Every structure is written in C-alpha cells, then in structure tokens.
Amino acid sequence: MTETPEVPNLKARGEPLTRVDGKLKVTGGAQYAVEIPSSRIAYAALVMSTIARGRITGIDTAQADREPGVLAIMTHLNAPKLPAQPTVKNRVSVTDRALQILQGDQVHYWNQPIGVVVADTLERAQRAARLVQAGVRYAREASQTQLPRRSGASGEKPAPPPKGGPSGGTPAEYARGNLDAGLRAAEVRIDQTYTTPFEHHNPMEMHATTAVWQGPNHLTIYDSTQGIFEVRRKVAVSLGLPKENVRVISHFVGGGFGSKGSVWSHVILAALAAQKVGRPVRLMVTRPQMFGPVGGRPPTEQHLVLGARKDGTLTAIQHDSTSSTSRFDEFIEHTTAPTRALYECPNMVTRERLVRLDTGTPQFQRAPGEATGNFALESAMDELSYALGVDPVALRLKNYAVQDPESGRPWSSKSLRACYEQAATRFGWAQRNPKPGSMRDGNVRIGWGMATSTYPAHVWPASAEVTLLPDGTAQVRAGTQDIGTGTYTVMTQLAAETLGLPIERVHFDLGDTDMPPAGGSGGSTTAASVGSAVRMACVELRQKLAELGSAQLEKMDQKAIAELLARHKLDKLHVKYEAKKGAEHDKHAGRSFGAQLVEVRVDRDLGMVRVSRIVAAFACGRILNEKTARSQYMGGIVWGIGMGLLEDTRYDQKLGRIVNNDLSEYLVPVNLDVPAMDIIFVEENDPHINEIGVKGIGEIGITGTAAAIANAVYHATGKRIRELPITLDKLL
C-alpha cells in the first residue's frame, strides 16, 4: 500500500526500548493464567496413568472421596459424554491435537491424564489425586517407546505420512534433478547418520488454565497459550458450545516455545471440572506432568549423503529422516526443510518417515524440524569440508544459493554472505588452524566450529484496531499473545512511530478473543504478522486525520487532536485493519539467515565440553527493538547449547515411562553453561516480505548452534559425534 507523505518511515533498527510491561512483571503486577482473582475459586489436580499402553480395569476412589475439602473426582466412569472429537482426518489445523478427556478406558502413553480431582485447596486436590492414582487397576499391554534404528533394531518400521495428513503443506517427499547421476558425478562422498533424542519443553510457567462459567452455556477461559483463538475454537468444539459463547483471555504467558501452540487435555478438563462443581477452577500442570501430555520434540534419525566435486561444488544430496509420532495422532518433524532450501545443488531427494510409538503426541518445539534437520545437514557439510580440505566457510560460500533452490523464486532478501563475513571477522576465524586437535591450552583442547542458521519467514493473517482519543492518546488492540518475547513493547513502538506520538501516549493491549483476531504466536510470525496489521491500521488513521485537517498533522499534541475531533464533532477516531499476505509476498521466497561461530574447550582427560565463546550474525529484515531482538537471539542460542550438550528425555524401555521428568534430571543450560555472546545485527532491507519488512527472529537462534558445537568438538578432539547430546561418555 502506498503511504502518504505524512506517515513516518520506519527505521531500519528500532530503539532498544525497555519493556513496557517490565515493571508489572518484576513487581508481581502481571497476572498469569492461574493468578486471576476470582471468588470461590477451586483447585484441580490431574491424575496420570502409570502404564504406557493398555486399559483401565478399575478405579478405587473411596479413600480420596473421604479426604477433607474434596469437591469432585472425575474419571472416564463419571465424566460427561462429549460431542465426537475431531480426528486426524478432519482436524482444521496442524496445531489440532487428539485429546485425552476421559471419554474411554484406553491408555495410550505413560503420564496420560486419566482423571481430575477438584478440592478447596491445591494441596488437598494434589493429595486426593495421588490417592486416586494409587487406586487405578490396569490391563497392561506391551509398549514401544524407542525409535528403531537403521541398523535393524526391532520395532515398527517407518512409513510415509498419509496424504492429506498434518504436514501443513510441507511435502514429506521431494526431489529435483537426478540423484543417481549427481552421485555418480561426485568425486567425494559423505554418507552418515545423525540422531537427535526426545526433548521436552520446560517454560518457566507450566501449562495453566482457569475456567469460569457464566451460567450453563457461557465460559471464560484464562489460559497460558500461544493462540487464544485456537483455544476458543477447540474448547467450543470439544464441549459443543457456539464459539461466541467462549471467551479466552491470556494477558501474560511465561514462555511457550511451541508447546502452548496447541490446546491440550487439561484445558478441557478444567472447563469440565468447573462445570461439575459450579465454581471457578484453576488447574496448573506440574513440572513432572509436562513430560508426555503436552508434547515435546520427537527423536529423529537422519541419513545424509552428500556428493561433491573436488572443488567443493555439491552434485547431489540425499536426506532420509525418520521421526516418531503417537499411535493415536500424527505429528511430523519436518527435518528436511532446511536441506531443500539452504544450498545450491542440482540433484536432491529428501524423504520423511514416521514411526508410531506409545508416547504422547510430539509437538512443535522451538524451530521444529529446522533445528534438528540443521544439525544433521551442517554436521555433514563440516565433514565434507574436511574430506575436501576446504575451509568450512568457503565450502558454504561455494554452494551459496542466490535464489530459493526449492521453488526457484528469488529471495525476498538474503544477506547470508554478509553474515559469514562479519561473524568470521569478529571471531578471528582466519587464525584457525584447520587440523583437528592442533589448538590447545594446557590440558584443554580448543575447538572452533561454525554452522549456518536459517528459519522460514512466515506471515499469517492478523487484524488490529487503533483508537485516537481527545486526550491525545492512542489505544491499540490486537488479539495476539505475548509469550515473553516483548510483543507489548514492539507493538507500542511500532504504533507510536507510525502515528508520530511519544511512547507514553500509546497503549497497546492484547490477549482477548473479544479483540480483533490474529493467529497463534508460533513460527516466528507475531512481529511480522501483527506488526503489519498495527502499522497499517495506524497508517489509515493518519490518512483519516489528513482528510479531517492536514494542518494538524505537523503537531500531534493533545490540544491539536482535541480541537480537530471537536471541530468534526467526534469523540474518537477509530480504524481497524486486517493484514494478509499480498501478491508481492507470494512472488518471493522468504527466509532469515545467520552464521554461528563457536569455540569449545574440551578437557583432555575427562571429556567435559564447555562452550567458551560464540559469535553469531543474523540478517532478519527490519529490527523493531534492538534490545528485545538481542534477547531473542541469545535465548535461541542458549536453547541450542542445551540441544547440543544437555537435553535428552530418557525412557525406561521396559515400563515405557520417562525416568527424568523433572529439572533435577532433565538438564537445561544454566548460567555457567552459557558464555558471553557477541551478537551481530546485519542490516537488511526487505521490501517484499510484508508491509514492515520484518522477519521473525524467535527461532533462528537455535538453528546452527548444536551443529556449530559438534563441529567445534570435532576440531578440538578429532572425534565426530553424530548423536545428540554430546556427553563426556561419547568422547572418552
């Protein structure tokens, strides 16, 4: 849309404004899903299965019924029968999950919700839930919770996802050129298998819901979610309510990372519990209950074959990936997406396969598919660089894709070459001795490794509204979520900059289905999508002001605005705008890119690995707030450190249960694991991706980190670790 001359142009990089909601958060004023004040509140606790597969043959609730304060115990024996639930074949989105909401006696996985207890205090509810859990009898069946390996381990064989399944439009199979011919033309070949384990989300705030009924047919849900409109839809469908009878509110979310992008069983159970006891009910999933019923990153086994000429030119790539899903639902970890898009290669075949296991359904986890697939691809590229005797950065530049190799469309923007150059210069890459094991500091081996980062630049439809009041303030609203990324802040900045108002005179609100609709906060889309709607709503308001009296536009002070509105007998000026992908967007391929260079220190005797230095350069379009953007990049890299060195969900293969379902045993990075990070913002102007030239940045930071660490470990030790996480036992 052509802007009027009066609308301020956006800066390439927004000011590093401190979060506008920061004071509320540090003083306790920010109210999360289970902190909403409500009279006669009751508390719910989940009862979880203790087997991985089978049926419930009996439940003894007598002792729990006698506990003081217990208001209700709900299991499949007495839960209300609900409308038929959506299946894989008729679900409406890739986030739509098959739920366990007490409609039968079947147990699909360990830690499945099989009951809910409501009491007048949280402690009483939890005690009664433990008593119910102890009184459950099962008919146990054999379970499988491990991904079969290519070596021929027993278990279910991989199968292609069914057509029309939950792929979200991403192909499970892809080919270009002639793979066999490309492999024959190769003078050097890499043929290796890389594996990643089960991982689980662990946001600071666990999943949490408060359900409040207003009469028998109207429900308000306060939920910790990445998608309020998806919660409204799923709750309405599950309970058989008109969607206009369900209101969902989520003002603050203590982290989601993909897990809260779907509606899980506890949300429906909280609503049923509140309906049963006739009181508002709070339900927070405990930390151990986060493992299983609310998703996680599935394990992958990825077989990669790279063929190249001696000068480093890629002639062929084959990428076969197997990941897991549950027996009752489908989720695909699209690991081959970065392989298809990152490097110029004329001959390629990628295939994705699924194995059904007796686990909870996997879920999007920060940079889903891209992070796991990037580890395999960038590790293989590093192996190829050593086989060729070519510098790892030079090899990537040799195969630089000037347009999208998959679609053939030009990039909306791409500054990856600048990322390589700036990161390598800042890191001092030219001083690297390429020989593995050659760099030492006493008893410590030093390793330098690098990898490319990339993530798609998605844009979803979003709406926003802005209201200019006579007191000179602007109220801006959008039905989106702030999952801790700074949405309140960047939208306030964007609106203020566009309207020409000071920050303190703009108020941005979100998190309510009574507001203009927007998509979920996932896939690094919120800033690009909602930001475009906010920007264009403010542009249209400026245009309306111009139509009313352009002389006042030069001074957007309270007096000028009040006089203008009074002269036209208006009590406010209101605009609503819906942003959608335009034709210009579809003519281009959109991705963000980056380069990460890592230094590790490996103890020669103990095999302990420490990341001691990271330099990372990212090009992600316009930056709305330098401060929050830097935090997002750093947060992603911290996740990558966890992925590379620590995170690993372990199953007892005999019992089918997770044995490390708490933060004392499931390891995530702490301060001592994280070095100082040098983050480089590579300036990039993207006129095609959306109205504000913004690409998402929430997930790109994790892509590349694990591979860069693995490549640095090889440089330090001469030992190639192809199975994450990289633990000392694998190096000794």
What's the rounded mean pLDDT across residues 472-479? 97
Using pLDDT thresholds of 50, 70 and 90, give the confidence band for residue 490. very high
Mean of per-residue pLDDT scores for the chain: 94
Reading the block at residue 319, the tokens are 């990428």
Percent of the residues in the chain that have a pLDDT greater than 90, as a whole number: 89
pLDDT per residue over 330-374, tens digit each?
999 999 999 999 999 999 999 999 999 999 999 999 999 999 999
Q: Which one is catalytic: 123, 665, 699, 723?
A: 699
Using pLDDT thresholds of 50, 70 and 90, give the confidence band for residue 721. very high
Residue 1 has pLDDT above 50, yes or no: no
What is the reported pLDDT for 93?
Answer: 87
pLDDT per residue over 307-334, tens digit each?
999 999 999 999 999 999 999 999 999 9
> CA 101 to CA 322: how far, in whole Å?
30
* CATH 3.30.365.10 in the chain, residue ranges: 42-142+201-290, 173-199+296-458+587-731, 460-580
Please say whether the dihedral angle defined by the alpha carbons of residues 545, 551, 556 and 562, taken in this order, is positive or negative.
negative
What is the reported pLDDT for 2?
Answer: 39
- Contact of 535 with 573, CB cutoff 8 Å: no
What is the reported pLDDT for 586?
Answer: 85
What is the reported pLDDT for 166?
Answer: 44
Is domain 42-142+201-290 classified as CATH 3.40.1160.10? no
Using pLDDT thresholds of 50, 70 and 90, give the confidence band for residue 91. confident
What is the reported pLDDT for 156?
Answer: 58
pLDDT per residue over 92-140, tens digit each?
888 999 999 999 999 999 999 999 999 999 999 999 999 999 999 999 9
CATH: 3.40.50.280, 3.40.50.2300, 3.30.365.10, 3.40.50.720. Which one for 173-199+296-458+587-731? 3.30.365.10
> CA 498 to CA 463: how far, in whole Å?
16
Cα dist from 87 to 96, 98, 165, 166, 327, whole Å:
9, 7, 11, 11, 12
> CA 487 to CA 508: how far, in whole Å?
9
What is the reported pLDDT for 168?
Answer: 54
pLDDT per residue over 49-90, tens digit each?
999 999 999 999 999 999 999 999 999 999 999 998 888 878
Residue 662 has pLDDT above 70, yes or no: yes
Q: Burial-class residue 670 by CB neighbours within 10 Å (0-12, 13-18, 19+).
A: exposed
pLDDT per residue over 618-643, tens digit each?
999 999 999 999 999 999 999 999 99
Residue 518 has pLDDT above 60, yes or no: yes
Residue 169 has pLDDT above 90, yes or no: no
CATH of region 460-580: 3.30.365.10
> CA 207 to CA 357: how far, in whole Å?
24
What is the reported pLDDT for 11?
Answer: 81
Residue 200 has pLDDT above 70, yes or no: yes
141 classed as catalytic: no
Q: Write a three-state SS string for 232-283.
A: HHHHHHHHCCCHHHEEEECCCCCCCCCHHHCCCHHHHHHHHHHHHHCCCEEE
pTM for the whole structure: 0.96
Percent of the residues in the chain that have a pLDDT greater than 70, as a whole number: 95
Using pLDDT thresholds of 50, 70 and 90, give the confidence band for residue 164. very low
- Contact of 471 with 559, CB cutoff 8 Å: no
Using pLDDT thresholds of 50, 70 and 90, give the confidence band for residue 40. very high
